[in-house]
Structure 1
Amino acid sequence: MDTAKRKQLRAIGHKLKPVVMIAGRGVTEGVEAELERALEDHELIKVKLAIPEPEDRKLVAKHLCETHKAELVQAIGKVLLLYRAAKKPNPRLSNLLR
Protein backbone atom coordinates (compact mmCIF):
# COMPACT_ATOMS: atom_id res chain seq x y z
CA MET A 1 0.00 0.00 0.00
CA ASP A 2 1.44 3.35 -0.96
CA THR A 3 1.62 6.31 1.42
CA ALA A 4 -1.16 8.29 -0.27
CA LYS A 5 -3.61 5.40 0.07
CA ARG A 6 -2.54 4.83 3.69
CA LYS A 7 -3.04 8.53 4.47
CA GLN A 8 -6.51 8.47 2.89
CA LEU A 9 -7.51 5.38 4.91
CA ARG A 10 -6.19 6.90 8.14
CA ALA A 11 -8.29 10.02 7.52
CA ILE A 12 -11.43 7.91 7.00
CA GLY A 13 -10.60 5.69 9.98
CA HIS A 14 -10.14 8.62 12.34
CA LYS A 15 -13.88 9.01 12.92
CA LEU A 16 -14.66 5.27 13.15
CA LYS A 17 -15.53 3.50 16.39
CA PRO A 18 -14.02 0.07 17.17
CA VAL A 19 -16.27 -2.72 15.91
CA VAL A 20 -14.32 -5.62 17.40
CA MET A 21 -12.80 -5.80 20.87
CA ILE A 22 -10.26 -8.45 21.81
CA ALA A 23 -9.99 -9.03 25.56
CA GLY A 24 -7.42 -10.84 27.66
CA ARG A 25 -8.62 -14.28 26.51
CA GLY A 26 -7.13 -13.52 23.13
CA VAL A 27 -8.46 -14.34 19.70
CA THR A 28 -11.33 -16.80 20.01
CA GLU A 29 -13.46 -18.45 17.32
CA GLY A 30 -16.20 -15.88 17.86
CA VAL A 31 -13.76 -13.00 17.51
CA GLU A 32 -12.39 -14.50 14.30
CA ALA A 33 -15.90 -14.84 12.84
CA GLU A 34 -16.91 -11.30 13.81
CA LEU A 35 -13.68 -9.86 12.42
CA GLU A 36 -14.23 -11.68 9.13
CA ARG A 37 -17.81 -10.39 8.89
CA ALA A 38 -16.78 -6.83 9.76
CA LEU A 39 -13.98 -6.77 7.18
CA GLU A 40 -16.26 -8.14 4.49
CA ASP A 41 -19.02 -5.62 5.28
CA HIS A 42 -17.04 -2.48 6.13
CA GLU A 43 -13.61 -2.99 4.50
CA LEU A 44 -11.95 -0.55 6.95
CA ILE A 45 -12.41 -1.27 10.65
CA LYS A 46 -11.00 -0.39 14.03
CA VAL A 47 -10.11 -3.15 16.48
CA LYS A 48 -9.61 -2.46 20.19
CA LEU A 49 -7.11 -4.68 21.98
CA ALA A 50 -7.51 -4.97 25.75
CA ILE A 51 -4.06 -6.52 26.03
CA PRO A 52 -1.61 -4.76 28.37
CA GLU A 53 1.74 -5.77 26.83
CA PRO A 54 2.85 -3.96 23.64
CA GLU A 55 4.70 -7.01 22.31
CA ASP A 56 1.57 -9.17 22.71
CA ARG A 57 -0.47 -6.53 20.85
CA LYS A 58 2.02 -6.61 17.97
CA LEU A 59 1.78 -10.39 17.78
CA VAL A 60 -2.03 -10.30 17.78
CA ALA A 61 -2.02 -7.60 15.07
CA LYS A 62 0.31 -9.68 12.91
CA HIS A 63 -1.81 -12.80 13.47
CA LEU A 64 -5.03 -10.97 12.52
CA CYS A 65 -3.51 -9.54 9.35
CA GLU A 66 -2.13 -12.88 8.23
CA THR A 67 -5.26 -14.87 9.10
CA HIS A 68 -7.74 -12.48 7.45
CA LYS A 69 -5.49 -11.25 4.61
CA ALA A 70 -5.90 -7.69 5.86
CA GLU A 71 -3.45 -4.83 5.92
CA LEU A 72 -2.51 -2.95 9.06
CA VAL A 73 -3.07 0.70 8.21
CA GLN A 74 -2.26 2.09 11.63
CA ALA A 75 -1.62 0.95 15.20
CA ILE A 76 -1.86 3.52 17.95
CA GLY A 77 -1.73 2.22 21.50
CA LYS A 78 -4.42 -0.42 21.88
CA VAL A 79 -6.30 0.42 18.66
CA LEU A 80 -5.65 -1.12 15.24
CA LEU A 81 -6.97 0.12 11.92
CA LEU A 82 -7.33 -2.80 9.49
CA TYR A 83 -8.18 -2.72 5.78
CA ARG A 84 -9.20 -5.42 3.34
CA ALA A 85 -10.93 -4.67 0.06
CA ALA A 86 -14.28 -6.46 -0.27
CA LYS A 87 -14.97 -8.63 -3.28
CA LYS A 88 -18.41 -7.03 -3.75
CA PRO A 89 -18.57 -3.87 -1.60
CA ASN A 90 -22.01 -2.89 -0.32
CA PRO A 91 -22.33 0.92 -0.63
CA ARG A 92 -24.60 1.06 2.43
CA LEU A 93 -22.14 -0.79 4.69
CA SER A 94 -18.68 0.04 3.36
CA ASN A 95 -16.81 2.73 5.30
CA LEU A 96 -15.03 3.66 2.07
CA LEU A 97 -18.10 4.23 -0.10
CA ARG A 98 -20.26 6.16 2.37
Structure 2
Amino acid sequence: MAAVLSNPQKRYLRGLAHDLKPVILVGAKGITDNLVAEAGIALERHELIKVRVAAGDRELRDEWIGLLCERADAALVARIGNIAVLYRRSQDKPLIVLPKA
Protein backbone atom coordinates (compact mmCIF):
# COMPACT_ATOMS: atom_id res chain seq x y z
CA MET A 1 0.00 0.00 0.00
CA ALA A 2 1.44 3.35 -1.03
CA ALA A 3 1.98 5.94 1.64
CA VAL A 4 -0.61 8.67 1.93
CA LEU A 5 1.20 11.98 1.75
CA SER A 6 0.03 15.21 3.36
CA ASN A 7 0.10 18.47 1.40
CA PRO A 8 3.25 19.76 3.17
CA GLN A 9 5.00 16.46 2.38
CA LYS A 10 3.96 16.68 -1.28
CA ARG A 11 5.18 20.28 -1.45
CA TYR A 12 8.53 19.22 0.05
CA LEU A 13 8.89 16.33 -2.43
CA ARG A 14 7.95 18.56 -5.38
CA GLY A 15 10.79 20.87 -4.36
CA LEU A 16 13.23 17.96 -4.27
CA ALA A 17 12.01 16.68 -7.64
CA HIS A 18 12.34 20.01 -9.41
CA ASP A 19 15.84 19.35 -10.82
CA LEU A 20 15.31 15.64 -11.55
CA LYS A 21 15.20 14.28 -15.09
CA PRO A 22 12.67 11.57 -16.06
CA VAL A 23 14.17 8.11 -15.53
CA ILE A 24 11.21 6.08 -16.82
CA LEU A 25 9.51 6.58 -20.20
CA VAL A 26 6.08 5.08 -20.75
CA GLY A 27 5.68 4.55 -24.49
CA ALA A 28 2.98 3.26 -26.81
CA LYS A 29 2.84 -0.16 -25.13
CA GLY A 30 1.65 1.41 -21.88
CA ILE A 31 2.30 -0.10 -18.47
CA THR A 32 4.06 -3.44 -18.96
CA ASP A 33 5.49 -5.83 -16.38
CA ASN A 34 9.04 -4.84 -17.36
CA LEU A 35 8.24 -1.16 -16.97
CA VAL A 36 6.76 -1.74 -13.52
CA ALA A 37 9.87 -3.74 -12.55
CA GLU A 38 12.18 -0.93 -13.74
CA ALA A 39 10.10 1.66 -11.88
CA GLY A 40 10.31 -0.48 -8.74
CA ILE A 41 14.10 -0.68 -9.01
CA ALA A 42 14.37 3.08 -9.59
CA LEU A 43 12.06 3.84 -6.65
CA GLU A 44 13.98 1.52 -4.33
CA ARG A 45 17.24 3.18 -5.26
CA HIS A 46 16.16 6.85 -5.46
CA GLU A 47 12.77 6.96 -3.65
CA LEU A 48 11.70 9.94 -5.79
CA ILE A 49 11.53 9.67 -9.59
CA LYS A 50 10.04 11.43 -12.58
CA VAL A 51 8.17 9.46 -15.23
CA ARG A 52 7.43 10.74 -18.74
CA VAL A 53 4.20 9.36 -20.19
CA ALA A 54 3.93 9.52 -23.98
CA ALA A 55 0.17 9.20 -24.41
CA GLY A 56 -1.76 11.58 -26.63
CA ASP A 57 -5.00 11.37 -24.67
CA ARG A 58 -5.27 12.97 -21.22
CA GLU A 59 -7.58 10.27 -19.84
CA LEU A 60 -5.26 7.52 -21.06
CA ARG A 61 -2.25 9.33 -19.56
CA ASP A 62 -4.01 9.66 -16.18
CA GLU A 63 -5.05 6.01 -16.33
CA TRP A 64 -1.48 4.86 -17.03
CA ILE A 65 -0.07 7.01 -14.22
CA GLY A 66 -2.65 5.62 -11.80
CA LEU A 67 -1.93 2.07 -12.91
CA LEU A 68 1.83 2.56 -12.53
CA CYS A 69 1.37 4.02 -9.04
CA GLU A 70 -0.83 1.09 -8.05
CA ARG A 71 1.40 -1.63 -9.47
CA ALA A 72 4.67 -0.07 -8.25
CA ASP A 73 3.14 0.69 -4.82
CA ALA A 74 4.11 4.36 -5.18
CA ALA A 75 2.46 7.63 -4.22
CA LEU A 76 1.77 10.25 -6.87
CA VAL A 77 3.40 13.49 -5.73
CA ALA A 78 2.58 15.65 -8.76
CA ARG A 79 1.56 15.49 -12.39
CA ILE A 80 2.34 18.30 -14.80
CA GLY A 81 1.60 17.61 -18.45
CA ASN A 82 3.37 14.42 -19.50
CA ILE A 83 5.53 14.23 -16.36
CA ALA A 84 4.55 12.47 -13.13
CA VAL A 85 6.55 12.50 -9.91
CA LEU A 86 6.38 9.27 -7.89
CA TYR A 87 7.58 8.55 -4.34
CA ARG A 88 8.06 5.31 -2.46
CA ARG A 89 10.09 4.97 0.72
CA SER A 90 13.04 2.61 0.33
CA GLN A 91 12.81 -0.64 2.30
CA ASP A 92 16.58 -1.04 2.67
CA LYS A 93 18.01 2.43 3.09
CA PRO A 94 15.61 5.40 3.33
CA LEU A 95 17.21 8.55 1.89
CA ILE A 96 14.48 11.17 2.17
CA VAL A 97 13.24 12.36 5.55
CA LEU A 98 9.71 13.68 5.12
CA PRO A 99 8.45 16.58 7.23
CA LYS A 100 5.83 15.67 9.82
CA ALA A 101 2.25 15.61 8.58
Same fold (TM over 0.5): yes
Q: For 1:29, which of 6, 28, 33 is the aligned residue?
A: 33
Q: Measure the CA separation in 1 of the matches of 2:33 and 2:6.
A: 32
Q: Which runs of 5+ in 2 are unaligned?
A: none
State whether residues 28 and 55 of structure 2, in contact with CA within 8 Å, keep that contact through their aligned partners in structure 1.
Answer: yes
Cα distance in 2 between the residues matched to 1:6 and 1:85: 13
Are 1:20 and 2:52 an aligned pair? no
Alpha carbon RMSD of aligned pairs, Å?
A: 1.4
Asked if the contact 2:31–2:67 (Cα under 8 Å) also holds between the matched residues in 1, the reply is: no
Amino acid corresponding to residue 70 of structure 2 in structure 1: E
**What is the aligned partner in structure 2 of residue 86 from structure 1?**
90
Displacement over 2 Å in runs of 4+: none
Which one scores higher on RCO, CA 8 angstroms, separation ≥ 6?
Answer: 2
| Fraction of identical pairs, as percent | 37
1:3 aligns with 2:7: yes
Residues matched between the structures, number: 93
